Structure 1
Amino acid sequence: MSNGSLYTNIQNNIATIEFGHPASNSFPRELLSRLTASLNELSSNHDVHVIILKSEGEKAFCAGASFDELVAISNFEDGKQFFLGFANVINAMRNCSKLIIGRIQGKAVGGGVGLAAACDYCFATEQASVKLSEFTIGIGPFVIEPAVRRKIGLAALSELTLNATNWQNAYWAKEKGLYSRVFDTIKEMDVEVEILANKLSNYNPEALKEMKKALWKGTENWTVLLEEKAEISGKLVLSDFTKKALQKFKK
C-alpha cells in the first residue's frame, strides 16, 4: 500500500475509478501515473459512456501529492517530474472523451482540489471542505491553477490561494461552482451519483462526447501550459524557504 491502490470497475456502461492511499488518499508519483493510464484507456473504451471518480473510505477525498516524495526531491528534473504527475492527470481528464463525475466525500487539499475541478460534475458531502495550502511551504498551486480558475473564477481562486491556512466549507465550494450539489451524508450523495451516472449512460454517447469537447473548449494549450507550471513548482521546491518549511512540517 506504500504506492496506494487504484481499481476500475465497468458496469452498465459506467466506469468507476477508485483510488486510495493510507496517507489521506494522497498521491505518490506511481499512483498518479496509474490514474493517468486508466483515464486514457477508458477514453477509447466504447463500452464506457461515463466515468465516476472516487476515493476510498469516508474521510479525506484527497490530500494532494505525497508529502514523503515532496520532501525527497533533490534536483530540478525530479521536481518537474513530481509536479508533472498532477499535470498529466488533469490533462488526461481534460482530453478524456467521457464525462467525469466526481464523488467528493471528504476534505480536498491542493491537488485534491485540482482533481475535483477537473471533473465535469461534482457531488460532495458537507465534510468536503477545500484548502490550497501550498504557500505555507513556499510553493504555489501552479499546476492545478488553470483547472481551478476555470471552475471557480479568479476572485475565488485568489481567496483560496492567499488564505493558505484556511479551510473553505463545501457550501462555499458549491457557491463558487466547484461542486454542483452538496449532501448531508455519503449515503444520500451516493444515491444521486448513481442516478445521474445511469441517466448519462443511457444518453447518446456521441452527444456526450461532443458535449465534453464543448465544455473544455479553449484549453487546447494546456499540455504545454501545465508543463510550464510544473517547471515553476520544480524550481520553487528546491528553495531554502521550502526546504526549511518541509522539515518543519515533517517534524
Structure 2
Amino acid sequence: MTEAYVKSHIEHGINTIEFFHPQSNSLPGKILEELAKEIHFAGTHDDTKIIILKSAGDKTFCSGASFDELIDIKNEAEGLKFFSGFASVINAMRKCPKFIIGRIQGKCVGGGVGLAASVDYAIATDKAELKLSELAIGIGPFVVGPAVERKIGSAAFSALAIDATMWRNADWAKRKGMFAEVHENIENMDESIQRLANTLSHSSPQAMAEMKKIFWKGTEHWDELLKERAAVSGRLVLSTFSKTAIAKFKSK
C-alpha cells in the first residue's frame, strides 16, 4: 500500500472506518478531514449501530501529525487550519451518538493518542505503546489534551505531556484507563472486538445514545475549547525551535 486513504464498510450494523498513511499512519489534513466526515456520516446513518475505528498495518496505530505538513505551515492561519483538523475529528467522535470501538493494534504518538482517548471503548494489543511527543518538537498536546485528560486523569496526562520522549506500555495505558482491554496478539484482539461489536449491534440504539451523552457530559464547550487550543499549537509551530526540531525528526 502506498496511497493514503480513509474508507468505511458497513456489515450487520457494524460500520468499520479504516485509515492508512504510508508514513506510519500519520495524519495530514486530508486524512483528518475525511475521518471527521466518515465519523459524522456514520453517526447519522440509520444502518450503523456501532462503529469500529481502525488503521491499516500491524505496527503503528497512528503516528500523529504529518511532519511534512507541519514544517510547511507558514502563518498562524495555516497553523489554526491544520490543528483544527484534529479538533474536528475529536469533536465528531464526541458528538457521534453511536459507540466507537477503537482497534489499537500498535503504537500511538501525539495525535494518535488523542484518537485512542476519544473512542468509547479501546481494545489493544500489548504492542500498543503511547507517547505524547509534542513538547519535543516545540509545541504541546493542546488539542488532544482535553480528550486524553478526560480519559486518564490530569496526573497521568501531565506525566505523558511532560516526559515527551518516554514510551508508556500498554499495561500502563490499561491501568490508567486509556485501554479497556489489552490482548497478547492481534487475533485475540480482533476476536474480542468482533464479539463486542456484534453484541452492541443488537443493543438498543436509543439506550446507547443516551449512555454516550452521559459519558461525555461536561464536554459541551469543546467546539470552542479545541479551536482555541488549535490556535495555540498553530502559533507555536511557527517558532524557530519548532521548525528546527521538526526538520531534525524528518531527517532521521
User: Does TM, normalized by the shorter one, top 0.5?
Assistant: yes
Matched, 1:80 2:87: no
| Distance change >3 Å, CA 2–CA 70, structure 1 → 2 | farther
Superposition map of 1:166-205 within 5 A: 166-205=166-205
- For residues 250 and 94 of structure 1, the distance between their equivalents in structure 2, rounded to whole angstroms, comes to 32
Superposition map of 1:1-251 within 5 A: 4-251=4-251
Contact 1:4 1:28 in 2 (8 A): no
TM-score by length of structure 1 reads 0.98
> How far apart are 1:241 and its partner, in Å?
1.1
Give the SS at the match of 2:27: coil
Residue type matched to 2:177 in 1? G
- For residues 190 and 246 of structure 1, the distance between their equivalents in structure 2, rounded to whole angstroms, comes to 35
Residue type matched to 1:15 in 2? N
Residue type matched to 1:166 in 2? M
- For residues 64 and 111 of structure 2, the distance between their equivalents in structure 1, rounded to whole angstroms, comes to 4
> How far apart are 1:2 and its partner, in Å?
7.2
> How far apart are 1:250 and its partner, in Å?
2.4
- For residues 2 and 250 of structure 1, the distance between their equivalents in structure 2, rounded to whole angstroms, comes to 19
> How far apart are 1:4 and its partner, in Å?
1.4
Contact 2:3 2:22 in 1 (8 A): no
Encode CA deviations 1:180-238: one digit per residue, 9 max, x unaligned: 00000000000000000000010111101111111111100000000000000011001
Contact 1:3 1:30 in 2 (8 A): no
Encode CA deviations 1:89-120: one digit per residue, 9 max, x unaligned: 00000000100000000000000000000000
Give the SS at the match of 2:19: strand
> How far apart are 1:3 and its partner, in Å?
6.6
Residue type matched to 2:58 in 1? E
Residue type matched to 1:205 in 2? P
> How far apart are 1:140 and its partner, in Å?
0.2
> How far apart are 1:65 and its partner, in Å?
1.1
Contact 1:128 1:169 in 2 (8 A): yes
- For residues 165 and 48 of structure 1, the distance between their equivalents in structure 2, rounded to whole angstroms, comes to 39
Residue type matched to 1:11 in 2? E
Give the SS at the match of 2:7: strand
- Tell me whether 67-76 or 239-248 shows the greater mean CA deviation: 239-248
Residue type matched to 2:13 in 1? N
- For residues 52 and 6 of structure 1, the distance between their equivalents in structure 2, rounded to whole angstroms, comes to 13
- For residues 120 and 53 of structure 1, the distance between their equivalents in structure 2, rounded to whole angstroms, comes to 10
- For residues 67 and 98 of structure 1, the distance between their equivalents in structure 2, rounded to whole angstroms, comes to 32
> How far apart are 1:245 and its partner, in Å?
1.3
Residue type matched to 2:75 in 1? N
- For residues 32 and 2 of structure 1, the distance between their equivalents in structure 2, rounded to whole angstroms, comes to 18
TM-score by length of structure 2 reads 0.98
- For residues 182 and 169 of structure 1, the distance between their equivalents in structure 2, rounded to whole angstroms, comes to 11
- For residues 72 and 239 of structure 1, the distance between their equivalents in structure 2, rounded to whole angstroms, comes to 12
Q: What stretches of structure 2 of length at least 5 have no aligned partner?
A: none
Contact 1:117 1:148 in 2 (8 A): yes
Contact 2:152 2:176 in 1 (8 A): yes
| Distance change >3 Å, CA 3–CA 219, structure 1 → 2 | farther
Residue type matched to 1:102 in 2? G
